[in-house]
Amino acid sequence: MRTSDYVSDEILNAYIDQELDEIEMMRVQVLVTRNPGLQRRLHVLQQLKIMVHTAKPEGSAALIPVRIGDNKNCCSQVAFGVVTLMFAGWVMWALFPINEYTPMNVTTARGLEQTTIKNLLDSALNHAAVKVVLHIKRSDTQAGKILFEKIDMLLSAAERRQIAVRIEVLANGDGLNLLRQDMSSYAKKIHAIQNQYDNVVFIACGDTIQRRNLSLAELNLFPEVMVVTSVNQQIDLRLTQGWNVIHV
Amino acid sequence: MLVFTRKKCQQRIEAMRPRLYSIALSWSCGPDLANELVQEALLTALDKLSQLRDTQALEGWLIKILANAHHQHLRRIKPTVNLDDIDLEYNHTPDHEVDREYLIERVRHAIKRLNVDQRHVLTLVDMEGMSYTEVSLALDIRIGTVMSRLSRARSRLRDLLYDDLHGIVRDIDNVTMIREVT
């Protein structure tokens, strides 16, 4: 045997574990073929590998669910939670910057004004009720989300201040889809609002329905939805009656 | 989004429990200790989840935490008996020598005699089928260290299981002489 034929244990182990590159693998193969001593070493290592593999213990882990609350050291989790909430808040703020103090365009009988929900409610202190039309003519997810956020905000802010509020949601164009049972993803939300509040009305546009040449049966509107001849006419009417119109 | 990721990670961590338990068992921990170490590792993982930068590396990261838990456990306990002084009651009758279960017990006993670092590497490679790279990442050691620990582990195992490997090992002794010459 030539001493150059010597293969270290590390290399031989890597060979049986198939961890060598192709060139080194071939070199070892050639050496093993012509070296009986190497063959025996290799055989022993292979036997050992098989024996160890066969000796793998079997058993099932105890079912002890690990949850965040199980952790003894909760400080980091609290910190993590705070950071997460801050981040989530920031994301919500960035994506949906709507709150009582957020400026928005509102159409009134005087024309287009920039105001906030807070101002709307404040201005109504001497009135019987704050009356708001939410006009929607889009049906994309973002529009639907904004619409229902505004409804929620108006209702909760008015409730908090003990101010009466009336809301009409007027839908025309694609906004009609939000009120269709077969197309809207807000069924539960609409039902919940209708069950809890009698001061919110959802209204579909007759003109849009007519233009789409659809029957009411085909439209499959939510049972709570009313239909007016024309949303645009309804808006004009409401403006003359002192309502505030917010276009979503 | 963070909440979602954390929840997903938590699910993946919990899903790793059987594998970690199996690994802990292979490190010669009994069922009770294995459960204890796995539980400790999972809690530590949740605690340090924010430190995990690559969620794809979760599996290796958990094994590393488990290995640390095992190390800590071994440091806590002070063995009163040297494992090397113990041997299984070994009855050299042909019936026992061919008994597979008995051989498995001898192998497990031999693995238990390895030092903990060698044991970790050997079991991860041979029982868990992990590559050297995976073991290297999981235990945070170099691949060269994986190779040398594995080599020493198998070498020690070969000595411990001398009788079980029959006459093959005797032939090896002649070969290792050459190594000393080179």
Q: What is the DSSP string of A160-224?
A: HHT--EEEEEEE-GGGGGGGBTTT-S-HHHHHHHHHH-SSEEEEEEHHHHHHTT--HHHHTB-TT
Q: Fold for domain B1-78?
A: Rna Polymerase Sigma Factor; Chain: A (1.10.1740)
Output b/e per residue, B154-167; b: 16+ Cβ within 10 A.
bbbbbebbeebbee
pLDDT score at B88: 46
Give B-chain residues touching A57 at CB under 8 angstroms: 22, 25-26, 108
For A106, the token pair is 């509102």
Q: Which positions 104-133 of B are in contact with A (Cβ < 8 Å)?
A: 104, 107-108, 111, 122-123, 125-127, 131-132
pLDDT score at A213: 85
Residue B121 has pLDDT above 70, yes or no: yes
The reply to whether B62 touches chain A by the CB within 8 Å rule is no
Are A221 and A179 contacting, i.e. CB atoms less than 8 angstroms apart?
yes
Are B16 and B62 contacting, i.e. CB atoms less than 8 angstroms apart?
yes
The domain segmentation of chain B, as residue ranges, is 1-78, 83-182
Phi, psi of B28 (to 5 degrees): 70, 25
Residue of A nearest to B145 (CA): A10
DSSP state letter for A226:
E
pLDDT score at A12: 93
pLDDT band at A71; cut points 50, 70, 90: very low
DSSP helix/strand/coil, A114: strand
Q: Among A151-155, B92-96, B119-123, B156-160, which is the least confidently predicted range?
A: B92-96
Mean pLDDT over A27-39 rounds to 87
Q: Fold for domain B83-182?
A: Arc Repressor Mutant, subunit A (1.10.10)
pLDDT in tens, A99-113: 777 777 788 777 777
Residue B94 has pLDDT above 80, yes or no: no
C-alpha–C-alpha distance, residues A31 and B61, integer Å: 38
Query: Which residue carries 């036997």 as its tokens?
Result: A47
Q: Among A80-89, A227-236, B30-39, B128-137, which is the least confidently predicted range?
A: A80-89
Give A-chain residues touching B150 at CB under 8 angstroms: 10, 13, 17
pLDDT score at B152: 96
Interface touch A61/B132, C-beta < 8 Å: no
Residue B140 has pLDDT above 80, yes or no: yes
In angstroms, what CA-CA distances link A196 with A145, A190, A193, A221, A224?
19, 10, 5, 20, 13
pLDDT band at A65; cut points 50, 70, 90: low
Q: Fold for domain A104-247?
A: Hypothetical Protein Ychn; Chain: A, (3.40.1260)
